[in-house]
Structure 1
Amino acid sequence: MDAELPRRSFLQLSGLSAATVAFGVAAPASADATPRRPVPDGAFALGVASGDPTADSVVLWTRLAPRPLAVDGHGGMPPDDVPVRYEVAEDERFHKVVRTGTAIASPELAHAVHPEVRGLKPGREYFYRFRAGTVISPVGRTKTLPAGRATRFSYALASCQAWYHGYFAAYRDLARRDVDAVVFLGDYVYEYGIVAGGNLWRQGVSVGPEHGVEIETLEQYRLRYALFKTDPDLQAAHAAAPWLHIWDDHEVQNNYGADNSLYGIPPELFVHRRAVAYRAFYENLPLSLRSLPSGPDSQVYRRFDVGDLARINLLDTRQYRDPVPVDEADRLAEQRTIMGAAQERWLYDGLTRSRATWNLVANGVVVIAVSDDRIEQWDGYPANRRRLLDAFGRTSNPVVLTGDIHRHVAAELKADFADPASRTVGVELVCSSIGSDGDGADTDAYAKDWLGHPYVKLYNARRGYVHATLTPHEMTSEFVTVPYIEADANAAATTVARFRTPAGAPRLEAL
């Protein structure tokens, strides 16, 4: 089979039209706001979310699903287009509404809508809600990015939320914080079958047999997102702040890269798997229209400017990466890339031309050198890492933001990791998982591999998130953990480490 044929024809084969996609963002003013039939109670059971903020806009999201775990992946909705009204206000009681509009929730997009609200004021807090028929959604809080001079920006890092491994106590704590944005670093869902007595460690819950197989169809991916999104603490974290999303591997399949599955699926068939996974990613998250996939291709690398204070670069280290190296000579090959040539040029240009004080790079896998056999991470792409570090040497205050490893790690980025005395060119903040790997521990058998490097300043294997604050003078980073997650969501959060990184001096000073 010609692998290019599916790429050219996926949009047509999917049943999506340009109008369906566009109306899910903004329906024409003439659109009828009355649903064809009554909207079922509980239609907003998956909550609300916002994301991809700019200085004057934000993407809002919801998905109508009165029965989120309906086996067919359609959330209990009839096969109708449903008009969904939204309101954006400057106050939580909606006394001062500043934007309204309608988007069409269509069955082709699992009754999800992605209205892109424009004309907002920079650096402002807003509240939003949806209405479908007589059913009203919960209220969400969002925030636009500042423009021009900016003096403070607070963000949280989260990743790896295997629902079946435990409760999302970390999100319960994060939702109470006043953050300007959440950066999610990949593995929002996992594709594995969920089996009682096997990997189902979240106590007091059960799932039907439809969840017990590895997911591979669009309906299965939709159902898996719905299962994870039923968690109330995840919903609360989404409703508390706008999110910036990237993916890692489990949104498709463990350790995949480009068109290559490590589990024997031929590339000409794997592109189908990737296409439905990317579509479910778009359907279920607050992403702008620019991230809508065309078949198995979706551009999720993008950047956001926080006034003159920070530039946030979101990377895709899965879709364009070279295959796993076959030997050491291949691993060391100068042309090897984890980002693809076009994304590399885009990133380095955006870094070295940036006038922001801080330049953040959010990516899916660890950049620092740990071990040559960690070929899934940047250790498998040393030439690409060298090019990245060279660009960092010409960039103002670079900071890498990473997830993936289910551990908290704080490290300094060296110009040459083989020479610990070489210049420090930036720092890397690695957040632990929200749920993956269960309760965890303060330390584990891998600690010595990481802490054996002098540039690694923290290693902790509990679940949690990172909270960081930027000012023109410094970045403070706070590593938050919870002592358990398998029993319930009530564990109290604790800060296990805090660091200061002075502007102009890329290092980690323990506080």
Structure 2
Amino acid sequence: MGNHLPEFRAAARRINRRQFVTRAGAAAVLAFAANMPAAGAAAARRLNPREITKDPFTLGVASGDPRPDTALLWTRLAPEPYTADSGLPAERVEVEWEVAYDERFALIVASGTATAHPELDHSVRVEVPGLSPGRFYHYRFRAGTWISPVGRTRTAPAAGTPTSRLRLATLSCQAYYHGYFTAYGHLAAEDLDVVVHLGDYLYEYAVTAAGGERKYTDRTLPAHYNSETVTLEDYRLRYGLYKSDPDLMAAHAAHPFVVTWDDHETENNYADQTPENDVPPEEFLLRRAAAYRAYWENQPLRAPQRPEGPDMRLYRRLHFGQLAQFDILDTRQYRSNQVQGANWQVPGPESKDPRRTMTGETQERWLLDGWKNSNATWNLLAQQVTFAQRRDVPGSDFRLSMDAWDGYTASRQRLLDGAQAAGLNNLMVLTGDVHVGYGFDLKEDFDDPRSRVVGTEIATTSVSSDRDGAEKPSNWSNLTSANPHLKYYNGRRGYTTFTLTRDRATVTFNTLTSVTKPGSALTRAASFVTEAGNPGLTPA
């Protein structure tokens, strides 16, 4: 079947909800895919929104990918988010939207209607044009008599504007069953211009009826959550569970998000069309298509990111005046398969093979060309896995993670060389994945501690994954001794905040004592500064 992969890719682009929710084999799906309507085609019937008898805005609202003159707004109608049809018939629903200067909507600047299609799980996205750069707006949706929570978003500064300050936060890895999303409750109260989510927005693994560590939540989840996500229905239901979390909804309503995925939005440790386990690639492509489509339906992403079957261009570029350029990477969809699996291994010729890639050739060229044309003070590379070299023990008998950039050293070196060729003095890599907070100096030669510092990497810890964690994990001494360019290491949960100015970037690691119990206080665990034109982290 492997020689039919192009055919399966084409078939996956034509699959609609009905085909995904069945657990038919790949060959059976291929047999009748061509006879189904295209994804997103308008349903024949229209539902009068006044017939909706339960609040359809149970998943809140969100905005994303700020631009100077437009805002991207999102919601999804789901009166019953834990059921397969979300409590709505397979009919179109007209949804009204409003954007105002104030949260009471006395000064409305834009309004209109959008259609919630059942083929897209009644998700709604609106690109609002004609807005002013660099200012806050409030927005809301209406379906019949129901009004959504009010969201607040902010447009980016105009191109070329000498912006004086940018405040952002990064976070990642939120396993629902490992704890509460307390970090999001604190994040909602921060003074921020944008939030960058670096992947593992959800996990594909089974969730117990009690929600795992959420034992203080007095409810029982439906039995269908106690299985791994495979079909489109599975992934949609999982987003319904995650996005119904009140702390997560509060953070989305408070700030515009920039999102990218890692592996768990689809399957652990997958690489391009290669799954984690012994599943034929053509079957995995169908699962990937389901995961990608549910991701797009449930995230505040613009039209160019809409997937076609198992393919979705998630990498993109955002600008915040002259102060910052964000390059958002996808390090899962195009990468070479991991060497000897995704485990820690002794590095060898295979992991150093120059043909190996983390990004794919097209994305790599796009990134390097973007750096050549950048006039920003700060160039922020938002991506998923640890970029800096990370030896597990001191001495010569060390191992490296084959799932991180250490398993793709030539690919990493091409980016570092490209950044230097482009004259990027202020490269900052933003990383998720590892469930700990790291602060790295990026070295010209990681094997030579005396070599020049060429940038910084900030890895944000998890929101909840791996439960409470510890301030000093068990491998703290080994990692800090083996990697002198590692300037900070903390294993608690939380998020990271940044303040960028034309002169410096200040980085603050924010941690929580517990996520297995609700209501933990937030601690500003440590702050570092890197000066413009002088890369490297120093304690603030």
Q: In the comparison of the two structures, how many residue pairs are matched?
A: 500
Deviation string, structure 1 residues 473-497 (Cα, Å, up to 9, x no partner): 1111110001001121x11100010
After superposing the two structures, state which structure 1 stretch, 364-373 or 184-193, moved more: 364-373
Partner of 1:475: 505
Do the aligned partners of 1:36 and 1:80 also contact (CA within 8 Å) in 2? Answer: no
| 1:194-233 alignment, distance < 5 Å | 194-195=207-208, 200-205=212-217, 206-233=220-247
Distance 1:494 1:92, change over 3 A: same
Identity of aligned residues (%): 47
In the TM superposition, what are the counterparts of 1:100-499 in structure 2 within 5 Å? 100-147=111-158, 148-195=161-208, 200-205=212-217, 206-326=220-340, 328-371=348-391, 372-393=399-420, 394-452=423-481, 453-488=483-518, 490-499=519-528
Partner of 1:480, secondary structure, is strand
Q: Secondary structure at the match of 2:141?
A: strand
**Following the alignment from structure 2 to structure 1, what is the Cα–Cα distance between the partners of residues 75 and 244?**
13
SS across alignment from 1:174: helix
- Cα distance change of structure 1 residues 20 and 324 upon mapping to structure 2, 3 Å threshold: closer
C-alpha distance in 1 between matches for 2:179 and 2:87: 26
Deviations 1:6-41 (A, max 9, x none): 3223333327977947x89xxxxxxx9982661232
Match of 1:3 in 2: 5
SS in 1 for 2:439: strand
- Between the aligned partners of 1:83 and 1:247, the Cα distance in structure 2 is 30
Q: Identify unmatched segments of 5+ residues in structure 1.
A: 25-31
Amino acid at match of 2:295: F
Partner of 1:27: none
The answer to whether the Cα contact below 8 Å between 1:126 and 1:143 also exists between their aligned partners in 2 is yes
Q: How far off is 1:445 after superposition?
A: 1.3
Give deviations 1:160-183, integer Å, cap 9, x for gaps: 011111111111111001100000
**Segment of structure 1 superposing worse, 205-214 or 88-97:** 205-214
* Aligned residue identity for 1:336: R
**2-side partners of 1:330 and 1:398: how far apart?**
28
Q: Distance in 2 between matches of 1:179 and 1:386?
A: 33
* Secondary structure of the corresponding residue to residue 201 of structure 2: coil
Distance 1:324 1:292 in 2: 27
Cα distance, 1:196 vs. partner? 6.0
Between the aligned partners of 1:36 and 1:409, the Cα distance in structure 2 is 48
Residue 478 of structure 1 contacts residue 495 of structure 1 at CA under 8 Å; is this kept in 2? yes
Q: Distance in 1 between matches of 2:414 and 2:60?
A: 42
What is the rounded CA distance, in whole Å, between the counterparts of 1:416 and 1:35 in structure 2?
A: 63
* Conserved? CA contact 1:392–1:426, under 8 Å: no
CA distance in 1, matches of 2:39, 2:436: 44
Match of residue 47, structure 1, among 55, 60, 65: 60
Q: Write the distance in 2 (CA, Å) between the matches of 1:360 and 1:94.
A: 35
Coordinate RMSD, CA, aligned = 1.9
TM-score, reference length from structure 1:
0.95
Q: In the alignment, is residue 510 of structure 1 matched against residue 539 of structure 2?
A: yes
The DSSP-based 3-state class of the residue aligned with 2:322 is coil
Q: For residues 237 and 204 of structure 1, what CA distance do their matches in structure 2 show? A: 22
| Partner deviation per Cα, 1:84-122 (whole Å, 9 max, x = no partner) | 111011111111111112111011101001111111110
Q: How far is the alpha carbon of 1:80 from its aligned partner?
A: 1.0
Correspondence 1:88 to 2:99: yes
The 1:138–1:17 alpha-carbon spacing in structure 2 relative to 1, beyond 3 Å, is farther
Unaligned runs of 5+ in 2: 18-35, 341-346, 392-398
Are 2:64 and 2:301, in contact at CA under 8 Å, matched by a contact in 1? Answer: yes
Distance (Å, rounded) in 2 between the aligned partners of 1:98 and 1:44:
23
Q: What SS does the aligned partner of 1:187 have?
A: coil
| Distance in 2, Cα, partners of 1:297 & 1:382 | 26
